[in-house]
Amino acid sequence: MNFDSIEVSNRVDEGSARLVAKLLLAAGAGAFLGYLLTLLPGLDRIVPQTAVRFAAVLGAIATAVVVVLLFYAAPRIALLAKLSLDGPREVVEEIAAVAQWTVVLVAVLVAHSGFAGVAVPLLDSTVWIYDFAFLLLAFPIVVFVAVHLYRGLDPSAALLATRFAEEETSSESPDDASGDRYTAAESGSDEPKGAAASDSSGGTNVN
Chain mean pLDDT for the chain: 76
- Give the angle 164-171-157 at the CA atoms, nearest 5°: 0
Helix, strand and coil in the chain, % to nearest 5: 85, 0, 15
**pLDDT tens digit string along 6-61?**
444 444 567 777 888 888 888 888 888 878 877 888 777 777 777 788 888 888 88
Is the pLDDT assigned to residue 190 strictly greater than 80? no
pTM score: 0.69
Which residues, in sequence order, are bridge partners of residue 46? 53
Question: Residues near 22 by Cβ (< 8 Å), separated by ≥ 6?
Answer: none
More confident residue, 178 or 46: 46
Which residues, in sequence order, are bridge partners of residue 5? 88
**pLDDT tens digit string along 78-108?**
888 888 777 778 888 889 999 999 999 999 9
Q: What percent of the chain has pLDDT over 90?
A: 20
C-alpha to C-alpha distances, 147 to 90, 95, 121, 140, 144, nearest whole angstrom:
13, 11, 37, 10, 5
